[in-house]
């Protein structure tokens, strides 16, 4: 596994790549004492896309992913998260229903917490049934910043303010 670091308004992100694609995004940067790699084509694309995302671009992440681990349910949740459009939100219950387990909203929360590739697989776009910000492995302050960034970009785009 090779690591690079991306500076972001939510703190540094460590981004890991294996032979198949991006396999991890870690808040707080790359693990200590791990040498940072020179980005190759795929890793460079992920760094570029994350940099553009944090600069306020509506980015459709295209770098290949290498999702490791997770139960069948978690992987289904992660696929559903990846399908949430930019600047839109879903509730835990909506995700549970979408994966065929309508009573599993809490389990969706756990799957979101186990998401190995946050931001790129946008678990921050999932909110409580009442629309409140709840549960985010990176801290609610990060979730708030990510949602505010996307909302600002969407408003600017829709009203021609950009």
Distance CA(25)–CA(13), nearest Å, equals: 6
pTM recorded for the entire structure: 0.93
Closest CA to 125 of 87, 96, 151: 87
Which pLDDT score is estimated for 43? 86
For the annotated catalytic residues, the residue numbers are: 123
Task: With a cut of 90, say whether residue 58 has pLDDT above it.
Answer: no
Q: 69: pLDDT confidence band, cut at 50, 70 and 90?
A: very high
Tens digit of each residue's pLDDT (9 = 90 or more) over 126-154: 999 998 998 888 999 999 999 999 999 88
Task: With a cut of 80, say whether residue 160 has pLDDT above it.
Answer: no
Instruction: DSSP letter for 84, please.
Output: S
Tens digit of each residue's pLDDT (9 = 90 or more) over 19-57: 899 999 999 999 999 999 988 888 899 999 999 999 988
Q: Which domains does the chain have, with CATH numbers?
A: 2-54 (no CATH), 72-158 (1.10.10.10)
Q: 67: pLDDT confidence band, cut at 50, 70 and 90?
A: very high
3-state SS, one letter per residue, for 81-133: HHCCCCCCCEEHHHHHHHCCCCCCHHHHHHHHHCCCCECCECHHHEECCCCCC
Which pLDDT score is estimated for 57? 87
Q: 162: pLDDT confidence band, cut at 50, 70 and 90?
A: low
Side-chain-side CA neighbours of residue 45 (13 Å): 12
Does residue 13 contact residue 6 with C-beta atoms inside 8 Å? yes
The stretches of 12-90 forming alpha helices (DSSP H) are 41-54, 72-82
Distance CA(152)–CA(162), nearest Å, equals: 10
Pick the more confident residue, 41 or 79.
Answer: 79
Residue 138 has phi, psi (to 5 degrees) of: -90, 0
């Amino acid at each position: 596994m090779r690591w690079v670091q991306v500076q972001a308004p939510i703190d540094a992100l460590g981004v890991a790549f294996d032979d198949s694609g991006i396999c991890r995004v870690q808040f707080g940067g790359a693990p200590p004492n791990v040498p940072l790699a020179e980005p190759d084509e795929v890793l460079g694309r992920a760094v570029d896309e994350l940099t553009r995302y944090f600069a306020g671009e509506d980015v459709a992440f295209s770098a290949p992913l290498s999702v490791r681990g997770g139960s069948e349910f978690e992987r289904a949740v992660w696929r559903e998260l990846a399908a949430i459009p930019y600047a839109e939100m879903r509730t835990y219950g909506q995700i549970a229903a979408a994966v065929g387990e309508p009573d599993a909203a809490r389990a969706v929360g756990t799957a979101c917490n186990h998401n190995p590739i946050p931001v790129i697989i946008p678990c921050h776009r999932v909110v409580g049934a009442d629309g409140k910000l709840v549960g985010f492995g990176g801290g609610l302050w990060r979730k708030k910043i990510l949602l505010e960034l996307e909302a600002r970009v969407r408003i600017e785009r829709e009203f021609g303010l950009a």
